A and B are shown apart, each in its own frame.
Chain A
Amino acid sequence: MSPETKPDYLISPEGLRVDGRRPDELRPVELKVGVLKQADGSASIRQGKTYIIAGVYGPRELHPRHLALNDKAYLRVVYRMATFSVPDRKKPAPSRREKEISMVIANALSPALFLEEFPRAVIDVFIQVIQADGGTRCASINAASLALADAGIPMRSLVPAVAVGKADGVIIVDLGDEEDKYGQGDVPIAILPPTDEITLLQQDGFFTRDELLEAIQMGIGSCKYLHELQKDALKRAYVRKTPDGEPVEEEDEFEDDLETDLGEADMPEEDE
C-alpha cells in the first residue's frame, strides 16, 4: 500500500508534532485569488503540502432544468481529487467520499451566500485537489469561499475552515496527513466569522465532552486567523489590479471622473 509508515510518535517528548509544530500552530498557508482565466472567480490554496484550486461559474442558467429551485439559486459543488494527488493512484471515477465531501462543502458554504438573489439559476463551484496532505475539505472551503467572492457573488462573509484533531491525547490544530491517518480523531470546523456561527462540524474518533469543547474553541481561534489571511489575499488581488501599483491616496483626483459614474447605472439615486 502506501509507502508511508506510521511514525514512532505523533507528539514528541518536547510536546512538538511530527513536523515540528506546536499543537495550536497551523501549517504555512498561501492563498491566491484569480488564478484561472476562464472562470468567473477562482482561488488556490497551499496549506503545507496540500494544494487545491477552486473555480466558480455563475450565477448562470441551470441545466438540467428540473434541478432549478424557484426561490433561490442552486449551489452545485463538485469536489474532485486528481489521480496523482495521493500516494496510490486514485481511480478517476467519482468516489462515494468525493460526493459526500461535495455535499458537506455545499452545506458549509450556503449559509454564507445570498442564494435567494438568483432564483432558478445555478452557482457552480468546482474544486480540484492537486495534491492531498490532510485537511483537504477544510482547505477546499477556504479556497471556494474566496473564489465565490472573486466571482462577485453576494455573501454574508468569507468562510474559513480548519481541522482540529487529537494525537497521543493532545488536541492539535490543522492535521497533516500522518496525524490524520494515525491520530485518534478529526473534527473539521467552518465558521462565519462575524457571528461565530458554525457551518461545518464533523467528527470521527473518540472525544470526551471537554476535549470536543476545547477542540471547537481552538478551531474557532484558528479560523479567525485564517479569515484574516483570506481578507488579505482578496484585497491584495484587487489592489494589485491597479496599474503600476498606483497608490490609492490621491483623493482629489477621484473627484473628476470617478465620483459618480461608477455604478451609477446600477442603482437609481435614492431620496433621503
Chain B
Amino acid sequence: MAIYFQKREVVVPGQLLAEGRYRPSYGTYDENGKIYSTLVGLAELRGNTVKVVALEGAYIPKEGDLVVGIITTVAGNNWKVDIGGPYGASLHANNALRRPYSDDISEYMDIGDVISAEVLAFDRQIGPFLSMKGRGLRVLEKGMLLDVSPAKIPRIIGRRGSMINMITDHLRIQTVVGQNGRIWIKAPDIASLRLTIKAIKTIETQAHTSNLTERINTMLAAEVAQLRPAAPSKKAGKKTEKQAEDEVAEVEQSADVGDETIEAVENDRDLESDMEDYLDEESETTASDDAEDESDDTVENEDVKK
C-alpha cells in the first residue's frame, strides 16, 4: 500500500505510481500488483483509482463524443468523414437526413463540407460511425477551423464549459469544440477571430498550469477593451441581458449532468440568438458579409501554414 507520486506530478512511461490495493485506470498498467504509468502526463489519485492525464496524443473516438469532421468521400448512401486521428469515420444518410431523401446525397453534403457530429459507435474493430441527429449537429458554414492537440480539448472546454463560454462571451463569436481537437470558429470580424485563436493557442501551450481561466479572462478583457473602446454604454446594456440569459442556461445545465460538449453547444445556441441581435443592430455588418468571408479564408490559410 503505497503511492509514489505527488499530486499532479509529471510522470513518464514506466514510472512506478502505486503498489497494493489501488486500481489502474486510464494511462496506467498493472504488473504484479504494481501500477506503472504508460504516458507522459499528470498523475492523479481519485478515490483508490490511479490515472494519468495525457499531455499529448492522437484522437481516439469514444461513443458520445462531439466531433468536427470534414467530408472526404460521398459513397452511395454514406459519407466518409475525416475526424483526425488514425481512424476515418463514416456517416450513413439515415443518421443524418430526414426521410425521404434524394438518391444523390451529395446534394445535402458534399466533399469538403465541415460538419459537427456525434460518435454513435466505435470499438476499434469497426471504424467509428457518426450521427447528426441531435441538437446543434449540423453543417458548419463559413467560419474557420482551428486544429489543436486533442489532449488539450478538456482544458479548452473547461469545467462545465467555463473556459469556452468565457471566450465566446467576451468576443461574441460562435464556436463548436470537437473532442477530436478541431474547433470551428465564426467571428463577426477578423480582430476577434485573431483574438480567439490567440486565446485558444495560449490555453493549448499552458494547458497544465494553474489559474488559467482567470489569466485568459484578464487577457481577453484587456484586449477586448482595446478592440472596442467606443460605445461602452451599449455594451454594458448587452452584458446584463446576456447575464440573464446565462442564468437561464445555467439552470438548464444543472438539470442535466451530461457531457460538457453538449453544454458547450447549448451555450452556442444561446449565443446564436445573441449574435442575431448583434447583427440586427449593426446591419452594415451583414451588408459587408461577402468581403468578410474572403478575409476569413485568408486567415484560415495562414493558420494552415503554421
Contacts and interface: CB of A to CB of B under 8 A. Distances in A.
Contacts of A41: 56
Nearest to B88: A61
Interface size band for A: 35 or more
Interface string A239-272: 1011100101011011011111111111100101
Contacts, number: 167
A256 to B, nearest CB: 7
Given A150-B40, A156-B14, A267 B206 contact: no
A109 to B, nearest CB: 12
Contact of B38 (A156, A193, A266): A156
Nearest to A148: B13
B55 A238 contact: yes
B162 interface: yes
B131 to A, nearest CB: 18
Contacts of A156: 13-14, 29, 36, 38
A151 B56 contact: yes
Interface stretch (B103-111, B150-158, B268-276): B150-158
Contacts of B48: 272
B205 A241 contact: yes
A264 B260 contact: yes
A235 interface: yes
B5 interface: no
A231 interface: yes
A149 B12 contact: yes
18 contacts: A40-B56, A40-B58, A59-B85, A118-B124, A152-B56, A154-B27, A156-B38, A157-B36, A158-B14, A242-B209, A258-B8, A261-B159, A261-B160, A262-B207, A262-B208, A264-B159, A265-B260, A265-B261
Interface of B: 7-10, 12-16, 25-27, 29, 31, 36, 38-40, 42, 44, 47-49, 51, 53-58, 60, 62, 85-88, 124-125, 151, 153-155, 157-160, 162-163, 179, 205-214, 259-261
Interface of A: 40-41, 58-62, 70, 73, 112, 114, 117-122, 149-158, 192-195, 230-231, 234-235, 238-239, 241-243, 246, 248, 250-251, 253-254, 256-267, 270, 272
Given A149-B12, A264-B154, 15 more contacts: A40-B56, A117-B60, A120-B86, A152-B39, A154-B38, A155-B13, A157-B36, A235-B12, A239-B10, A254-B8, A256-B213, A261-B260, A262-B42, A263-B154, A270-B49
